[in-house]
Chains A and B, each alone.
Chain A
Amino acid sequence: NAGVTQTPKFQVLKTGQSMTLQCAQDMNHNSMYWYRQDPGMGLRLIYYSASEGTTDKGEVPNGYNVSRLNKREFSLRLESAAPSQTSVYFCASEGNYGYTFGSGTRLTVV
């Protein structure tokens, strides 16, 4: 089925560990986004990419890096995880009819 695929679905990290969250879309969309969801705060934009090879900071970029190597894939990297990064992470891509969201990655940093 066409859509946005995120991996992994769940992850537990120790403080200081690194990891990359993967996101891929098969809808030929140009724009892609990474959000984090925390209780009572809705979704907050971490980074976005308007097209292949371009990325820009969103509202809460500190502690994260992103990579848009091709049109399909937009990855989010945590270089040194902190407990404050415990959250649910959503990737989305944008087409003519709006956003399509992935099913999320639930990350716990202990």
Chain B
Amino acid sequence: AQSVTQLGSHVSVSEGALVLLRCNYSSSVPPYLFWYVQYPNQGLQLLLKYTSAATLVKGINGFEAEFKKSETSFHLTKPSAHMSDAAEYFCAVSDRYNAGNMLTFGGGTRLMVKP
């Protein structure tokens, strides 16, 4: 079965600092991996996804993630945090079936950005 572990339920950075949100996965097959962002009282929005093409994936809002098979990791980074990045972030791994993809989510990391 697929599983996802996000290290750190809360991460605090200063505005302009590097953002690093950690995600490790377990999968019995080559995975599809995703990062989603959730702003307060909203649904989840896709930031980026890895589907076995380039290992460095660029997403929206300046975020990127690197797939490292040897480390079973898919950490999310952004060079310079902005106040608007404050949100909860979820890493997910896909379990593909005939009609689509069932996502298994990590527990989430709440990013706080200090002025």
Contacts and interface: CB of A to CB of B under 8 A. Distances in A.
Interface of A: 4, 30-31, 33, 35, 40-45, 48, 50-51, 58-59, 90, 92, 94, 97-99, 101-104
Question: Which of B98, B99, B100, B108 is the most central at the interface, judged by chain A CB atoms within 10 Å of its CB?
Answer: B100
Given A42-B6, A50-B100, 7 more contacts: A31-B100, A42-B106, A45-B104, A94-B100, A97-B46, A103-B43, A104-B41
Contacts of A31: 99-100
B103 A99 contact: yes
Contacts of A33: 102-103
B101 A40 contact: no
Contacts of B43: 4, 90, 92, 101-104
Question: Which of A31, A43, A50, A97 is the most central at the interface, judged by chain B CB atoms within 10 Å of its CB?
Answer: A43
B107 A98 contact: no
B107 A45 contact: no
